[in-house]
Amino acid sequence: MRPDGLPAPAELGPDEELVAGRRPVEEAFVARRAAHRLLVVPQRRSALEKIVLHATNLRIPIVEVEGGSLTSLAGFDGHQGVALVVEPRRYASVEDILARASERNESPFILVLDSLEDPNNVGTLLRSAEAAGVHGVLFPTHRQAPLTPSAVKASAGAVEHLLLAPVDDLGGALSDLRARGVRIIGAESDASLTARETDLRGPLALVVGSEGQGLGPAVRRRVDAFMHIPMRGAVGSLNAAVAGSILLFEAVAQRPQADDDTSRTILSTDSATTEEPIETGGGAAPKVARARPKATTKPKATTSRKAATKLRATTSRKATTPPGTGDDRGAETPGSSGEDLLPGEPTEATVKASRTRATRPRRASAQDQAPSD
């Protein structure tokens, strides 16, 4: 502490907390957390120019500190050489969480943490919860791992976008949720139903127990249904953060999405697409793009095909044209009316042609014009 009563640059005051790590600091900027100063390790400043420039634009003082000092201040060595000193976090209430669900016109979807002990598990679950779209997180104020800079780092800054509601009496808070129509679902290894068989739609509070003890007695008495994750390997259990994340996204898969009433199009990069509605369980059907088959060029007609077409056209013309020409129009000739001729027998047309040649005057030759002696 300095003589003027202000904390030293590498220390935290009573109304300050630390956000450490590149991604958590960036998310704190996005969430517009009120910041007092940015702490940077000089040896890593070149890799942090984007964050430093952003802090400069926001008129946040930049303070260079040694790596060891920042590690001592943050409580872990995964700070990546940067940390942001911010004002204390503002926590929410159960009413705030239900109000957010109402604002989004969605059924309440709440994650409940029952006395988790590992801050990294807490941070990982908060990250999964934010990605799954939960409206808020409940956890007890006692016998719960604190939201340390390490936990914030494990959440990758997701805590900046979540409503966190610490409660003194977790069992009483669950009873209040049940009175409001929210179903309480817990995880048990010996439950009769799997997560896939359990109905996770509608108002839901998903409870994740502690790493060693699972659900406490006060919480267990208020659970409406239990489920388990089927396992096929030799390991008999999962990490609390892993199990909770699996159950969160199983609920996401069953619950209707917020944009079910809007049309969604997935574009294909290698072919044109058309939108076709697909039937869903309820509500308007989202449109999913289906690949339009590429146009194919029809093969050109073969010679035999052309010949057959020409023959049909000729036959059609003959059928519509009266038989015969000139003086013989309308007269039938053998062969043209379908009569059979003997082999070698001349037709009437052949006979007429020969008579015409016989009666046509012959042109005089040079011998005929020569004078006789």
The CATH number covering residue 39 comes to: 3.30.1330.30
Torsional sign, CA 141, 143, 144, 145: positive
Cβ atoms of 123 and 240 closer than 8 Å: no
Q: Are residues 76 and 100 in the same domain?
A: no
Q: Are residues 134 and 204 in the same domain?
A: yes
Domain around 21:
17-86
Q: Where are the beta strands (DSSP E) in 123-203?
A: 136-140, 164-167, 183-187
Give CA–CA dist 194/185, Å, rounded: 12
Q: Does 110 have pLDDT greater than 90?
A: yes
What's the pLDDT tens digit per position in 180-215? 999 999 998 888 999 999 999 999 999 999 888 889
The model's pTM: 0.66
* Phi, psi dihedrals of residue 227, rounded to the nearest 5°: -145, 165
Q: Are residues 191 and 135 in the same domain?
A: yes
Q: Are residues 98 and 208 in the same domain?
A: yes
Q: Are residues 72 and 119 in the same domain?
A: no
Q: Are residues 229 and 122 in the same domain?
A: yes
The percent of residues above 70 in pLDDT, for the chain, comes to 66
Residue that finishes a domain, picked among 70, 86, 102: 86
Q: Are residues 121 and 77 in the same domain?
A: no
Pairing of strands 136-140, 109-113: parallel
Q: Are residues 140 and 159 in the same domain?
A: yes
Q: Does 257 have pLDDT greater than 60?
A: yes
DSSP for 210-249, please give it. Answer: BTTTBS-HHHHTT-SEEEB----SS-----HHHHHHHHHH
Largest CA distance in the chain: 161
Q: Would you say residue 342 lies in a domain?
A: no
Of 111-115, 238-242, 314-318, which gets the smallest average pLDDT?
A: 314-318
Q: Would you say residue 237 lies in a domain?
A: yes
The pLDDT, as a whole number, for residue 305 is 56
The CATH number covering residue 241 comes to: 3.40.1280.10
Q: Quote the number of domains for the chain.
A: 2
Short-list 358, 359, 352, CA closest to 336: 352
Short-list 336, 362, 360, 363, CA closest to 350: 336
Q: Would you say residue 302 lies in a domain?
A: no
What's the pLDDT tens digit per position in 70-108? 999 999 999 999 999 999 999 999 999 999 999 999 999
In the DSSP assignment, the letter for residue 102 is: H
What's the pLDDT tens digit per position in 303-322? 555 555 555 555 555 544 45
